[in-house]
Structure 1
């Protein structure tokens, strides 16, 4: 039984445990996640999405094998044990090619699944929920399930051929949009128990072939909409009452839990409630890179106060210039006039600036910022103004005023909410609060 299966089994046996998934490729975010997993003694699940990483390189420029090697290098450098690291693939299917014909998109999806599994990715989210160019809209559940089963068959064969442990799977048809909604103005509809039952039954039937029965036994979760999401400026927080019927439904099902996407920016109390209500796999991505962006912007503001303009990195302006010069990753998403778009480019919760941190000009600006603040250590008065929690940790002797350490600490504050919500052997709200306070000062 894999670490994921063990955790899910413990949850189904009544233990208040869950699994958080960090969906990111940002180096400092991943290093912060490793520190959080170490501090809270949790499994660390890191997932790459189908648009981030694919057989052609995705927007990160990495194939699944290259992404695996990248994460393992970070873990080795950080002294994080590889045995506590699990890699997952998110939204694996025709997502990146859905604007083309279904057969072409599924052809790419078959290669994608094979590449992920061959590289050792263990948790596989089979996402064939999107309609391709020549598909009916909405795509019937039976088609979604049949395509998912086809990809599972490839995954099973690939793992066996490479001598790897067989994957665990996540299924589902009511899959939130990766990276958050364009707008929450229309509200959110919690998945009904009837819809969840239909999805489960249709997938069970699609996996009924003898060679897929072992794979079906390793379906650990189903993606549903529990009523959580975010858009550029607003968060729809978890309402346990609205999801009560859905939670009761999964209690009657053997083995599986729900996977909750777009849990970014939920309160810690909300995350605890989600795990309690069997939304036991929590996905986080933009909230982590948003915390990274907040920390970097704060350091840039400190730099501007400390140094003459000619010496400064001007990172905030450099990032915005790159986004304006290459608008493809945000222009179709951020509405409004020039002023509104400028604010969204910098501060939107959907954080589409995360696509630009690898741009050479932005990399150079960040390097300059870090070098400047290593040469000119930020004084207490500026850290207190722009990074107050980090200043308190410095005063407590648990953090140093080193730029990258400050960034990672800021990210770890956000990821710590997830680790505490999913942690084994929780000893009650009072102890959780005490632990949260202690770690916020590290």
Structure 2
């Protein structure tokens, strides 16, 4: 069995273990994730979405082989064992090509799956839940399952041809949009056992062909709505009682667990309880880049206190200017007055500014900020004001007051909650 299957099997045998998934391409986030995985002795599952990485480059500009090389290069630099890295593909299907007719969109999706699997991505989330240009507004479950099985067939053939270990699969039709940025419905409902049983049955029938029998045995998880989500300023926290029926149902399905999307901003106690209740795969994305943004803004505030204005990076201003010049990643997401939109651009939990860190003016401002604070180390009094948790670690001699170390420590604090919730030697569930 692969490390993923081993963890899922241990969970189903009664061990309180799980797998956390870092859905991100940000360098500082991934470096922090590697530090956390080393600290808690966990494997590290890193997932790319079909928006981030595809055969044409995605919004990161990386194809699946390029993304793998990027992650492995970071691992070598961090002295993180390559064999403990697991790569996954999230929302793999026609997502990026919904504006095209289904036949054309699915042709691209087939190429997408082949690119991911041939590059060694092991955990594959099959997501064909979205309608294409000539589809009905809501796809029947049978269509979703048939398309998912079609992509699984491509994945199986690709892995065999490349001599790679066969992938493991995640299925499910009740999936949030990539990034979890929809407006949060106050009446958010947990998926019913009846609905998830229907989804499983439909997919089982779609995978009934002889050449997919082995693939079906490697379906490890289903994506459902456990009652957790977030939007720009609101968090829907986990309620174990509301999800009790769903948690009980999955116990009747040998070898399966649930995968929980949009777990960002949940309390650590909720993360532990989610794993206990068989939502054993926890995905985190925007919360990690939100912590990264918080660290950068804090460092920019320190910089402005230390240096003359003409020497400063003006990072917050540069980011704002670029987001206004290139509004495609936030404009349709952030409603309200100009003032309300400005606040959301900077501070929204959905963290649309994560799409802009790679833009040359923003990247240059970040580099200048780090260079400035490398030459002029943040004094303790300013660390206490703007990065109090990191200030304590610097005082104790456990953390260097270097800007990149401070950034990574801030992000690692967030990711460590996931590691503790999933690790065999993790802390007890906090009160």
> Which TM-score bucket, shorter chain as reference?
over 0.9
Aligned to 1:52: 52
Aligned to 2:89: 89
Checking the alignment, whether the CA contact within 8 Å between 1:89 and 1:124 is kept in structure 2 is yes
Q: How does 1:395-414 map to 2 (within 5 A)?
A: 395-414=395-414
Checking the alignment, whether the CA contact within 8 Å between 1:178 and 1:262 is kept in structure 2 is no
Q: How does 1:287-306 map to 2 (within 5 A)?
A: 287-306=287-306
Aligned to 1:316: 316
Local SS of the residue matching 1:270: helix
Q: Does 1:66 align with 2:57?
A: no
2: distance between equivalents of 1:138 and 1:386? Answer: 47
What is the CA deviation profile of residues 129-174 of structure 1, one whole-angstrom value per residue up to 9, with x for unaligned ones? 1111111121100000000000000000000000000000000000
2: distance between equivalents of 1:194 and 1:416? Answer: 35
Aligned to 2:278: 278
Local SS of the residue matching 1:175: coil
Q: Give the superposition deviation at 1:355.
A: 0.3
Q: How does 1:379-418 map to 2 (within 5 A)?
A: 379-418=379-418
Aligned to 1:6: 6
1: distance between equivalents of 2:182 and 2:306? Answer: 38
2: distance between equivalents of 1:186 and 1:386? Answer: 33
Greater mean alpha carbon deviation, residues 44-53 or residues 178-187? 178-187
What is the CA deviation profile of residues 308-341 of structure 1, one whole-angstrom value per residue up to 9, with x for unaligned ones? 1000000000001000000000001000111001
Structure 1, unaligned runs of 5 or more: 434-442
Q: Give the superposition deviation at 1:427.
A: 6.0
Q: Does 1:350 align with 2:350?
A: yes
2: distance between equivalents of 1:130 and 1:168? Answer: 22
1: distance between equivalents of 2:8 and 2:106? Answer: 30
Checking the alignment, whether the CA contact within 8 Å between 2:40 and 2:426 is kept in structure 1 is no
Aligned to 2:261: 261
2: distance between equivalents of 1:183 and 1:287? Answer: 17
Checking the alignment, whether the CA contact within 8 Å between 2:420 and 2:427 is kept in structure 1 is no
Q: Give the superposition deviation at 1:273.
A: 0.5
Local SS of the residue matching 2:190: coil
Greater mean alpha carbon deviation, residues 410-419 or residues 133-142? 133-142
What is the CA deviation profile of residues 281-308 of structure 1, one whole-angstrom value per residue up to 9, with x for unaligned ones? 0000000000000000000000001111
Local SS of the residue matching 2:29: helix
1: distance between equivalents of 2:292 and 2:59? Answer: 19
- Report the RMSD for the aligned CA atoms in angstroms: 0.9
Aligned to 2:103: 103
1: distance between equivalents of 2:185 and 2:162? Answer: 47
Q: How does 1:98-177 map to 2 (within 5 A)?
A: 98-177=98-177
Local SS of the residue matching 1:86: strand
Q: Give the superposition deviation at 1:425.
A: 3.4
Q: Give the superposition deviation at 1:426.
A: 4.0
1: distance between equivalents of 2:245 and 2:367? Answer: 51
Q: If the length of structure 1 is used for normalisation, what is the TM-score? A: 0.96
Q: Give the superposition deviation at 1:428.
A: 3.3
What is the CA deviation profile of residues 199-249 of structure 1, one whole-angstrom value per residue up to 9, with x for unaligned ones? 000000100101000000000000000000000001000000000000000
1: distance between equivalents of 2:425 and 2:387? Answer: 32
2: distance between equivalents of 1:99 and 1:223? Answer: 24
Alpha carbons of structure 1 residues 427 and 322: separation in structure 2 relative to 1, 3 Å: closer
Structure 2, unaligned runs of 5 or more: none
Q: Give the superposition deviation at 1:178.
A: 1.4
Aligned to 2:249: 249
Local SS of the residue matching 2:121: coil
Runs of 4 or more consecutive aligned structure 1 residues displaced over 4 Å after TM superposition = none
Aligned to 1:326: 326
Q: Give the superposition deviation at 1:99.
A: 1.7
Checking the alignment, whether the CA contact within 8 Å between 1:16 and 1:426 is kept in structure 2 is no
1: distance between equivalents of 2:420 and 2:188? Answer: 26
2: distance between equivalents of 1:361 and 1:426? Answer: 41
2: distance between equivalents of 1:179 and 1:189? Answer: 19
Aligned to 2:191: 191
2: distance between equivalents of 1:376 and 1:306? Answer: 8
